[in-house]
């Protein structure tokens, strides 16, 4: 357990499964009280919360659409009221709606941008308003190596993930004087429920791109996020840390 994290209050968006669940559990394991949001997987989110309670932490589950500005503010307000504050924000909720641009619909573009980019803005904004008054906070925004390099048939997803990186760097400049660190974690291919729907040939291609010869587990990402949420990373801000087994290089 990281004693520096014990008793901190964390909010993880999209914390019901995959990377988000792994992050929520690791923060809970490190002694945090953890709130998780989900759009529809309430039972899965409650199962994550139950495990965190087993570590001794208090929890809160909120069913919410991150793209909804007013709802996002309400969730943050509820976390602060019910759990006694907000020290850590991890934005993870995201979707994919892939397709080459000449076949991509306006709906595919709007939904991905609204969830993956506006959703992050919504929660970053609401969290910062609270953290800056307390002169301490940790924000970790989950992007992707495809936000750095682009990906075929993912102009919407790549744009959203690249936007997260730019937003986070700008935000780090704005809030550093308030003692708030803002960083980005950019995974490559990760073995999650979402990856189960990816054709095996694309998984194999991702493995070949790495230098370690494997795709990441969700816990590999969670461990890096937990470091960035602790005071061990107190002099790290505005950074993009890839967790990709060398896939990007």
Task: Give me the active site residues, please.
Answer: 157
State how beta strands 216-217 and 190-191 pair.
parallel
Can you give the C-alpha Rg of the chain in angstroms? 17
Cα–Cα dist 16/24, whole Å: 9
CB 148 within 8 A of CB 162: yes
Cα–Cα dist 226/37, whole Å: 18
> Token pair for residue 223?
């461990």
Cα–Cα dist 132/134, whole Å: 5
Cα–Cα dist 52/29, whole Å: 7
- Cite the beta strand spans of the chain per DSSP E: 9-12, 33-38, 59-63, 88-91, 137-142, 180-187, 190-191, 216-217, 240-243
């Amino acid at each position: 357990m990281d004693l520096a994290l014990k008793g901190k209050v964390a909010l993880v968006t999209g914390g019901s499964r995959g990377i988000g669940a792994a992050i929520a559990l690791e923060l809970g394991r490190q002694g945090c009280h953890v709130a998780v949001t989900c759009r529809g997987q309430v039972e899965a989110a409650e199962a994550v919360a139950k495990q965190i309670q087993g570590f001794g932490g208090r929890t809160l589950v909120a069913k919410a659409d991150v793209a909804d500005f007013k709802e996002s503010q309400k969730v943050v307000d509820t976390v602060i009221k019910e759990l006694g504050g907000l020290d850590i924000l991890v934005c993870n909720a995201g979707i994919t709606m892939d397709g080459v641009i000449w076949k991509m619909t306006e709906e595919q573009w709007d939904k991905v941008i609204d969830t993956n980019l506006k959703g992050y803005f919504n929660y970053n904004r609401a969290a910062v308003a609270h953290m800056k008054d307390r002169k301490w906070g940790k924000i970790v925004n989950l992007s992707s190596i495809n936000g750095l390099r682009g990906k075929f048939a993912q102009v919407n997803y790549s744009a959203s993930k690249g936007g997260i990186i730019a937003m986070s760097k700008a935000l780090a400049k704005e809030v550093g004087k308030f003692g708030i660190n803002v960083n980005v974690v950019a995974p490559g291919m990760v073995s999650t429920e979402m990856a189960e729907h990816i054709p095996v040939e694309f998984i194999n291609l991702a493995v070949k791109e790495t230098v370690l010869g494997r795709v990441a587990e969700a816990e590999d990402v969670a461990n890096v996020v937990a470091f960035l949420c602790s005071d061990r990373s107190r002099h790290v801000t505005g950074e993009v840390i890839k967790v990709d087994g060398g896939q990007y290089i």
